[in-house]
Each structure stands twice: as structure tokens, then as C-alpha cells.
Amino acid sequence: MAKSHSVDEPRSVDERTGRQRRPKATHTSTKAKAAKRQTRRRSAVRSRGRVKLAAAKTKQQVCLDLLNRADGATIEELQAATGWQQHSVRGFLAGAVKKKLGLTLLSEKPDAGPRRYRIASAV
């Protein structure tokens, strides 16, 4: 049984295969797509124009501020400031401060009290 088609959409027959071909897209469908793209562009431009708020200090910056004090900081103080565990603070001191940033880290153990760490330039 042959498929019926509307009068508005005449179908053409492909001479090579003998099959019916669909009509090509009308101009109205491309206008609809163009309107969508245009809307997205406007919103993208609007979001780029916004002013960014000042970024809060990173945990690394907080640690470096504590280590730059004259009396330095203990591991417990660094833990409280960052929320890191003890092994993470020690890893930060060895990896980021000493190796990556190349800073000289001094470690002092007073008779009474915990070990204190400070950056050498903070004397």
C-alpha cells in the first residue's frame, strides 16, 4: 500500500533508485534555529560582563601567612586554619613549601611546647 502525503508537500522520485525523496527543509526552520543561537549569544555576553568578586584566600596562602610570622606556626595551628589532617600539613610543608616554592623552612623545638615551623625570611 502506498504511503499518502499531504498536498502541501509534493514528493519527488529519485531516478536512480526509484525511491521517493523527502522535500528539503523550508526557510522557516532555519530561522527558528538562528533565533536560538542568537539568544544564547546574548546571555553569554551578559555573563562575561559581570564583575568577579575578590577571591578568598586559598588554604596555601593562609598557611604561608602563618609560617611568615616571626614565631612561625605549629602543625596544630596549621590544621585548625585549613581543616587538613596532620599528615596533609606535613606533606604541604615538604612538598609545596620546600620543593615547589623553594622556600627555606626552619623547624624549632623549644623545651616546653610543640615544634614550630617558620619560613627563614620571617626573622
Residues 8-54 pLDDT 10s = 656 777 778 878 877 776 655 555 555 555 555 555 555 556 666 67
Locate 49 and state its grid cell: 560582563
Taking the CA atoms of the chain, what radius of gyration do you get in angstroms? 34
Judged by average pLDDT, the poorest of 7-16, 76-85, 94-103 is 7-16
pLDDT confidence of residue 14:
76
